[in-house]
Amino acid sequence: MDQSSLALVAFPDEGTLSRALSRRMDVPSLTARVSRFAGGEWRVQAPPDVPQAVIVLTNIGEDPTALFRVLLLAEALRESGAKQIKLLAPWIAYGRQDRIAEPGESPAGLLVARLLAQTFDRIVTLDAHSDPFKQAFRGKLTSVLPEPKTIPAKDIKIICAPDRGAEGRAGHVARALRLPLAVQDKRREGRFVFSRLRAGSPDVADKRILLIDDIADSGGTLIAAAKELKSAGALSVSAYVTHALDLKKLRNKLQPALLRIDAAFDHARGTINPAVLDQLARTA
């Protein structure tokens, strides 16, 4: 597509990320207008001079306002003449709610996916949580995994998936770095998380291990995984996650269980690894 006919549109509170991405993509960055009517209802307006092709940049966070306002913006853009609207959302919350866990529960992630798929022509995100979540986008989602070369893996001897859900992304990293892959099985008992190395995993004794996962919030899974690996003789355990909801807090909480933890996207500070941001720009 001719870049001169393309623009990036973001909300006022996401200007830093929008400007960084627009420089990488060499396209103009436009700002949507957000206000409220006297009764408190949201009002979202498209920026002036909307081109026919638009990339909406926003994170779909835990607050439902994030989802609602991007749906309003997409409609405003179409009313302003946009013919093709892509969504670039490094984070789409609720992806972990991808199935009914308890009777009467709503699988919120599947609903979010369907709403976005109905609204946008294409959607790009950073490491979507699971296959059921991805499938709910009905073929419109592109999920970008951080390139293995961007992952700190100096002196690492084994890549490890802390649970079954992380096996695919950890295997991707292990193959790219030509390292063995260990897999752990996780179980929960109330507030507690327990891990066990799966039969057939390589011997971790006296090895430096790197855990690979997608989301870290409380850090419970990583702590349980590290304890199991150390009990099996691991020399050290580090972790790399795609999404850290607060990397600074995790680093404090996970000591001394983990030697270190790094993340592609630190949500608390809104910072994305520049190389990963380049990946998103190329994909969008």
Instruction: Provide the annotated active-site residues.
Output: 186
**What gap in Å lies between CA 241 and CA 198, rounded to an integer?**
21
Distances in Å between the alpha carbon of 276 and those of 35, 42, 163? 32, 33, 24
Q: What whole-number distance in Å separates Cα of residue 188 and Cα of residue 194?
A: 6
What DSSP string runs through 18-52?
Answer: HHHHHHHHT--EEE-EEEE-TTS-EEEEPPSS--S
Contact at 8 Å (CB) between 182 and 162?
no
- Cα–Cα distances (Å) from 76 to 46, 71, 119, 143, 249, in that order, read 5, 9, 12, 26, 38
The full DSSP string for 59-90 is -B-SSHHHHHHHHHHHHHHHHTT-SEEEEEES
Cα distance between residue 15 and residue 57, in whole Å: 10
135, with CB counted inside 10 A (0-12, 13-18, 19+), is: middle
Query: Could you tell me whether strands 42-45 and 33-36 are parallel, antiparallel, or unpaired per DSSP bridges?
Result: antiparallel
Report the C-alpha gap between 56 and 88 in whole angstroms: 6
First-to-final CA distance of the chain: 11
Q: Tokens at residue 281, please?
A: 């720009």
Give the chain's radius of gyration (CA, Å). 20
Supply 252's token pair: 């404090």
